A and B are shown apart, each in its own frame.
Chain A
């Protein structure tokens, strides 16, 4: 399926608030001034437009990420890396017991283009879904322009490491990345590098902390270095992770600065399993059978460490690999 083959199904005209309505399979989507309404054959759901757009932005930008992206306790997506399940109530014990849960599997390009169209149409000029609430206006109200540049930011993904010639480069005022207001005290000095002729592509370093201090988005892991499938995906966090991430593999968090509190639940039922408080220097695994949501009271730096191997979901689902990283 190519992008040119894809037909995004949307209403011909707009509703009374100025927004188009969309459908994907049997799912329907519409919004008004405050809320998003999601329908499916066995039920319907309502979310704040603010929360829905923040979650949708991550799902689109991450291309459905690893595993489950729960927009809330009812609606979300599961990435099968080529196709995506879109679901309602699938990871909600009450919906499942009542047999009100529903899901469809769709080709990734179809859901990608549909979600991109929803995001573009429903995001007003005043709102940046990637920004902290302190840094953006409201998502609410009737249709009021658009913010295409904000919702189509290029995702950074270094092939080898940021600052290596030909790879992703460091951020600066000149490249449009000023130091964030909550990181003005972060040292901006770069490493001093002495390179012998001929080794310019091999001797490389950068200030990771300065790089992160200039991030213009929140809760958006992006690759800064790759050791085969081992990916360093640091991110800056403020307020609440807009999704509840359900793992299909173990991932690790290393808190580089400040503090995040994680609420951890069973991935499939939502039953509470723990709360993890992470302070600067703390490192821990998120097991492969949980879902988690983070709370960061001040903008913080978090190193998300992922194993990008495509074999892992099947290994874990088949029981050949445990859901936690270490036996001890």
Chain B
């Protein structure tokens, strides 16, 4: 029990301080679906750190899917390939430290309106746009038409907000609670 703090505006007495619990590759604790009258598979319950702990570096494993849209979990370890998409994507660093490099492509390999990201062969051709240093809790824009590459300075976990593409891995039966 923490040290008691002062009465709050609502009249109750709060603790003097609180500890916010985040997960990590090193330390995560899963909850779950406690069924009464349902099928656990309807909830597609998993844990991003658990999934990343069982993934190869930079695999894009879907942990959420809503029609064509997906949330991908990526184990950030070493240096990723260069990728690009015809639409904005977003990356959230959930653990570790990652450097993001951005290059404006002179010529995109993707048709306008195509969905999902693809890998780029070799080095991207175009002007350098910038670099972003991400730590836990930081979110970055992966702008449409740019090439991006991640370098994990500390092994971690990334969450990607995107649309399913050719490299999105679907392995629900392996990652989700089923009973």
A243-294 CB contacts (< 8 Å) to partner B: 249-252, 254-259, 264, 271-287
A183-B130 contact, Cβ under 8 Å, with A204-B140, A276-B34, A283-B47:
no
- B residues adjacent to A (C-beta < 8 A): 8-10, 12, 14, 17-23, 28-38, 41-50, 63-67, 69, 71, 87-90, 92, 94, 100, 102, 104, 127-141, 143, 146, 159, 161-163, 172-173, 176
Main secondary structure of the interface of A (DSSP, over half): mixed
Offer 9 A-B interface pairs, CB within 8 angstroms, sorted by A. Answer: A134-B14, A135-B8, A182-B18, A202-B129, A225-B141, A227-B90, A283-B48, A283-B64, A309-B67
Q: Which residues of A contact B128 (CB under 8 A)?
A: 196
A283-B36 contact, Cβ under 8 Å, with A192-B132, A254-B71:
no
From A258, A280, A307, B67 is in contact (CB under 8 Å) with: A307
Q: Which residues of B contact A13 (CB under 8 A)?
A: none
A133 smallest CB distance to B (angstroms) = 5
A199-B139 contact, Cβ under 8 Å, with A208-B92, A307-B66:
no
Q: Which residues of A contact B159 (CB under 8 A)?
A: 254
Q: Complex: how many Å from CA A192 to CA B17?
A: 29
Q: Complex: how many Å from CA A328 to CA B90?
A: 27
From A189, A254, A272, A287, B42 is in contact (CB under 8 Å) with: A287
- Are B90 and A161 neighbours in the complex by a CB distance under 8 Å? yes
Which chain B residue has the least Cβ–Cβ distance from A183? B20
Q: Which residues of B contact A94 (CB under 8 A)?
A: none
A160-B22 contact, Cβ under 8 Å, with A134-B9, A254-B64:
no
- Are A202 and B10 neighbours in the complex by a CB distance under 8 Å? no
Which chain B residue has the least Cβ–Cβ distance from A285? B44
- A residues adjacent to B (C-beta < 8 A): 131-138, 160-162, 164, 181-187, 189-196, 199, 202-210, 213, 224-230, 232, 249-252, 254-259, 264, 271-287, 298-299, 301, 305-307, 309, 312, 321, 323-326, 328
From A186, A191, A259, B135 is in contact (CB under 8 Å) with: A191
Give 7 new A-B contacts, CB below 8 A, not counting A274-B43, A282-B46. Answer: A199-B104, A202-B130, A210-B137, A250-B66, A274-B37, A283-B63, A325-B65
Q: Which residues of A contact B37 (CB under 8 A)?
A: 271-274
Q: Which residues of A contact B90 (CB under 8 A)?
A: 161, 225, 227, 232
- Are A281 and B64 neighbours in the complex by a CB distance under 8 Å? no
Which chain B residue has the least Cβ–Cβ distance from A182? B18
Q: Which residues of A contact B87 (CB under 8 A)?
A: 227-228
A274-B30 contact, Cβ under 8 Å, with A134-B14, A307-B69:
no
Q: Which residues of A contact B92 (CB under 8 A)?
A: 208
A193-B23 contact, Cβ under 8 Å, with A203-B102, A271-B37:
no
- Are B42 and A324 neighbours in the complex by a CB distance under 8 Å? yes
Q: Complex: how many Å from CA A227 to CA B10?
A: 39
Q: Complex: how many Å from CA A301 to CA B22?
A: 9
Q: Which residues of B contact A192 (CB under 8 A)?
A: 132-133
A281-B28 contact, Cβ under 8 Å, with A191-B140, A274-B34:
yes
Q: Complex: how many Å from CA A238 to CA B157?
A: 26
